[in-house]
């Protein structure tokens, strides 16, 4: 009996030693990799000193293994930082300012701008009903009458009644019903009453793309390309035709990504490009008159002191102190994207392919809080 106990103890010690060795080895490898990435950090521009602090924090504290970071100030000056490699340090392409990344859900900001432009030009109104804009009242018999109450403002601010924690997100399936099978609207059962709360949803922005197509009588992609004047391939759609293979940037390629329908996702997460191009576009459209991408519905109450406590027409409004930071983020497998706009109109954009499915959300929030502290001088 004593001999068996001795064998068991020895086995447990061996297992424990092996586990500790592996963890220590991982720690050493991670520490060396982090040092390589930090040593690869390159910044340029008038604000490179402050921007490099954001980059250093993202690498050292949040463990991003690469990044592309850009800043456009209120005087249109551009600064940028890059760090890391596509994969293994020194054995894969190094990230530079021209490296393309998927914008993921930051794409939604462009969809918001297209809709808000129609509102500013009084072509549609924020309180217009979705069913009226798509002329669905006579076409379909809605099984859930609440669908008829969904407004443009509800869709923009994720208050339309869709909750992917209750009803699975069809947009990330192989055959999403929007935009291909709009008749499915008549069978939808909403997860909550429209305009009763904010719950993030992809389907709402696909529906907004259908509002855009209905108004312009053209595809969402063609309308976007003409409106924004995408040029020199700095920004472009991943999949321009339903049957085409998506042109996923090298930085973001995974089996999961290649299985997504980026034509259906064009208004939701279908753009790719550089951080500089993204920052320049955000800087321009954030200056539009009301309503613009930094505004929110006037009839809702929300907690701006919480980093995700207040969602407007395109993103979140964060104001733990007197200053405000507007921000939008996005994530897909092998894809992280984030943009911020402060009170003065200064824009920061962040792109990386570091994938952490368990903590990406908290890391985005920590990055937003750090940017807030650095741009406002207030914690």
DSSP 325-349: EEEEEEEETTEEEEEEEETT--EEE
Q: Residue 247: helix, strand or coil by DSSP? A: coil
CA distance 160 to 195: 6
Mean pLDDT of the chain: 90
Gap between the Cα atoms of 331 and 333, Å rounded? 7
pLDDT of residue 22: 42
| Across 90-107, average pLDDT | 94
b vs e for 231-254, b when ≥16 Cβ sit within 10 Å of the residue's Cβ? eeebbbbbbbeeeeebebbebbbe
Distance, CA of 261 to CA of 240 (rounded, Å): 11
Average confidence (pLDDT) over 126-150: 90
* H or E segment to which residue 369 belongs: helix 360-376
DSSP character for 97? T
* Rg value, the chain, Cα: 23
- pLDDT category of residue 252 using cuts at 50, 70 and 90: confident
pLDDT band at 21 (very low <50, low <70, confident <90, very high): very low
Ordered by start, the domain boundaries in the chain are: 101-376
If pLDDT is split at 50, 70 and 90, which confidence band does 73 have? very high
> What pLDDT is recorded for position 27?
45
d(CA 43, CA 66): 13
**Is 98 within 8 Å of 273 (Cβ atoms)?**
no
Mean pLDDT of 42-54: 95
- Confidence class for position 26, pLDDT limits 50, 70, 90: very low
Q: What is the pTM of this model?
A: 0.91
The CATH architecture assigned to 101-376 reads 3-Layer(aba) Sandwich (3.40)
């Amino acid at each position: 009996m004593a001999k068996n106990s001795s064998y068991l103890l020895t086995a447990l010690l061996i297992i424990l030693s092996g586990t500790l060795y592996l963890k220590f080895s991982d720690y050493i490898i991670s520490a060396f990799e982090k040092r390589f990435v930090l040593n690869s950090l390159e910044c340029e521009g008038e604000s490179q000193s402050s921007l490099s602090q954001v980059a250093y924090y993202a690498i050292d504290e949040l463990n991003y293994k690469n990044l592309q970071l850009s800043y456009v100030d209120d005087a249109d000056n551009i600064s940028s930082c890059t760090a890391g490699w596509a994969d293994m340090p020194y054995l894969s392409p190094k990230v530079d300012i021209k490296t393309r990344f998927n914008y993921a859900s930051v794409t939604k900001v462009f969809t918001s701008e297209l809709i808000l432009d129609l509102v500013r030009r009084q072509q549609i109104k924020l309180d217009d009903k979705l069913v009226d804009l798509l002329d669905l009242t006579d076409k379909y018999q809605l099984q859930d009458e609440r669908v008829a109450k969904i407004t443009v403002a509800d869709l923009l601010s994720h208050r339309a009644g869709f909750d992917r924690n209750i009803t699975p997100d069809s947009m990330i399936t192989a055959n999403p019903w929007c935009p291909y099978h709009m008749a499915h609207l008549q069978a939808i059962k909403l997860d909550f009453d429209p305009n009763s709360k904010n719950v993030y949803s992809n389907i709402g922005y696909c529906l907004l793309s259908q509002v855009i197509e209905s108004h312009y009588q053209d595809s969402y992609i063609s309308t976007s390309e003409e409106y924004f004047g995408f040029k020199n391939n700095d920004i472009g759609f991943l999949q321009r035709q339903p049957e085409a293979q998506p042109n996923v940037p090298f930085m973001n390629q995974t089996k999961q990504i290649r299985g997504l329908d980026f034509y259906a996702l064009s208004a939701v997460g279908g753009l790719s490009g550089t951080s500089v191009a993204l920052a320049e576009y955000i800087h321009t459209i954030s200056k539009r008159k009301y309503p613009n991408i930094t505004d929110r519905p006037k009839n809702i109450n929300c907690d701006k002191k919480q980093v995700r406590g207040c969602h407007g027409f395109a993103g979140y409004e964060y104001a733990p102190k007197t200053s405000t930071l507007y921000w939008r983020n996005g994530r897909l497998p092998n894809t992280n994207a984030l943009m911020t706009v402060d009170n003065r109109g200064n824009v920061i954009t962040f792109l990386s392919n570091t994938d952490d499915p368990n903590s990406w959300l908290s890391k985005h929030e920590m990055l937003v809080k750090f940017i807030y502290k650095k741009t406002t001088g207030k914690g």
